[in-house]
């Protein structure tokens, strides 16, 4: 079956390769617009099928990602000559890679297939999507709706295909057969993608450390952090995981969270119950992923206030000293106390070395000196400043990160790129090097002069 899909994808891609920029962009726009226009229905399907996340947040995610990705790439060149560098006299010509194989997760079953399809087609590639088995219906419906609109535009048939009955075996065969792999999901699948023998783009584990600097509006910072951590019940990999606050400000920071609907569990026994519920054998308990605070508390046998937005747990140490320093894909955050900015950075760095190196971190600060110090000290590909990390690390209308659903983590996270994955990574570039006739050739003395 996979080989038959590959054959169809190659035929479609070869026809699509003849399209000009305007024709390409017309199809790419349709992909995003379909998800935007059907955001509510697809969100409901995703929640019902995966039993994760929040309907309203998935609606916002479907609309928001479609909007921001199209806005970012609509005016960018991806066909023919895309750049003429007058200084180096190099001309760059964009060409397709071929057939893209995209492995998509159960946590983002609508926007990840959409995003990957937009990037693939922007580069005049075809794409075959391998959805997570727990999200095959909603991911399949997304592709079905997109293909209906593409057909109306007389697009090549089979430009976008999806494995209707996904399995590990089929996904592995797909990854070994395509021209390039994009893997978004668990680390096992990402490792398999890198072992497929084909060029691959993967993601690393998230564990976003959040440093709260001094002399800022704690209520404003708390509001933004809550927005990020609570979004879609905390299943986004770029979601905030910790609150690292100064010892003199700690209680004020916690109060800012509590006043806005969060709850700090102060009883050691209750905290331990929650820790053991969230983590089993040092690993995240899949049964709490994307669940509400009330359900998590019920599972742990702990009472919390009704409508609690985020459960706060003060960690008993840093890094390997406490499982609470790990990524928690649910609306739970760990808190830490620091004496100075260097200790705050050390806490974040130690936790990232345990899990999440290369992904993202966040800082709430009015000190550019401290912001840059954090950026220089932490091995992360993104440092979000004074904004909700969960909803902006993957690009937004208010920052310069490329909008995406695939966040590269560099060599720190065993990834091939340390930036946000976008359509440029699905292009082959031919470079024409023209002679620089008027360039003065330096002498050996000039070259080696100190």
Report the C-alpha gap between 59 and 57 in whole angstroms: 5
Burial 41-73 (b: 16+ CB within 10 A, else e): ebbebbbebbebbbeebbbbbbbbbbbbbbebb
Q: Classify the phi-psi angles of 198: left when phi > 0, otherwise alpha if psi is within -120 to 50, otherwise beta.
A: beta
CA atoms within 13 A on the CB side of 288: 25
CA distances to 8, 94, 136, 151, 426 from 199, in Å: 21, 18, 25, 30, 10
Give the rounded distance of the alpha carbon of 331 from its chain centre: 17
| Tokens matching residue 235 | 């299943």
The one catalytic residue among 237, 325, 330, 379: 237
With H, G, I as helix, E, B as strand and everything else as coil, classify residue 173: helix
Determine the Cα–Cα distance for residues 104 and 18; give it in Å rounded to an integer: 28
Distance from C-alpha of 410 to C-alpha of 265, rounded to nearest angstrom = 36
Concatenating the DSSP letter of every residue in 290-351 gives T--HHHHHHHHT----TT-S-EEEE-SSSGGG-GGGS--SSSEEEEEEESSHHHHHHHHHHH
Question: Is 115 one of the annotated active-site residues of the chain?
Answer: no
Coil, strand, or helix at residue 89?
coil
Residues assigned a catalytic role: 237
């Amino acid at each position: 079956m996979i080989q038959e899909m590959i054959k169809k994808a190659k035929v479609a891609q070869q026809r699509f390769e003849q399209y000009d920029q305007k024709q390409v962009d017309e199809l790419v726009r349709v992909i995003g617009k379909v998800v935007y226009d059907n955001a509510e229905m697809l969100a409901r399907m995703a929640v019902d099928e995966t039993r994760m996340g929040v309907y309203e947040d998935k609606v916002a995610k479907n609309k928001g990602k479609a909007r921001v990705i199209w806005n970012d790439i609509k005016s960018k060149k991806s066909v023919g000559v895309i750049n003429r560098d007058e200084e180096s006299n190099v001309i760059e010509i964009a060409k397709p890679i071929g057939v893209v194989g995209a492995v998509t997760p159960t946590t983002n079953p609508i926007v990840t297939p959409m995003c990957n399809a937009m990037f693939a087609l922007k580069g005049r590639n075809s794409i075959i999507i391998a959805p997570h088995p727990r999200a095959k219906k909603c991911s399949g419906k997304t592709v079905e709706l997109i293909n209906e609109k593409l057909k109306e535009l007389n697009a090549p048939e089979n430009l976008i295909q999806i494995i209707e009955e996904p399995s590990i075996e089929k996904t592995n065969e797909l990854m070994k057969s395509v021209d390039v792999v994009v893997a978004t999901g668990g680390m096992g699948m990402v490792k398999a993608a890198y072992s497929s023998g084909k060029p691959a783009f993967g993601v690393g584990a998230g564990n976003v450390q959040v440093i709260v600097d001094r002399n800022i509006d704690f209520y404003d910072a708390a509001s933004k952090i809550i927005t990020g951590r609570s979004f879609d019940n905390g299943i986004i990999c770029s979601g905030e995981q910790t609150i690292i606050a100064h010892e003199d400000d700690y209680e004020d920071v916690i109060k800012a969270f509590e006043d806005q609907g969060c709850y700090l569990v102060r009883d050691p026994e209750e905290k331990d119950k929650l820790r053991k519920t969230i983590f089993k054998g040092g690993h995240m308990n899949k049964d709490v992923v994307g669940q509400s605070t009330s359900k998590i508390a019920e599972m742990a046998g702990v009472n919390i206030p009704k409508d609690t937005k985020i459960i706060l747990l003060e960690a008993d140490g840093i890094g390997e000293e406490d499982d609470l320093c790990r990524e928690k894909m649910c609306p739970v955050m760990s808190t830490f106390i620091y004496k100075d900015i260097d200790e705050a950075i050390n806490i974040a760095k130690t936790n990232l070395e345990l899990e999440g190196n290369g992904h993202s971190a966040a800082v709430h600060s009015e000190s550019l000196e401290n912001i840059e110090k954090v950026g220089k000290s932490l091995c992360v590909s993104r440092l979000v400043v004074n904004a909700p990390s969960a909803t902006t690390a993957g690009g937004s209308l208010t920052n310069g990160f490329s909008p995406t659903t695939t966040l590269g983590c560099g060599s720190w996270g065993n990834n091939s790129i340390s930036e946000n994955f976008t359509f440029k990574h699905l292009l082959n570039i031919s470079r024409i090097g023209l002679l620089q006739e008027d360039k003065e050739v330096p002498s050996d003395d000039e070259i080696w002069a100190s």
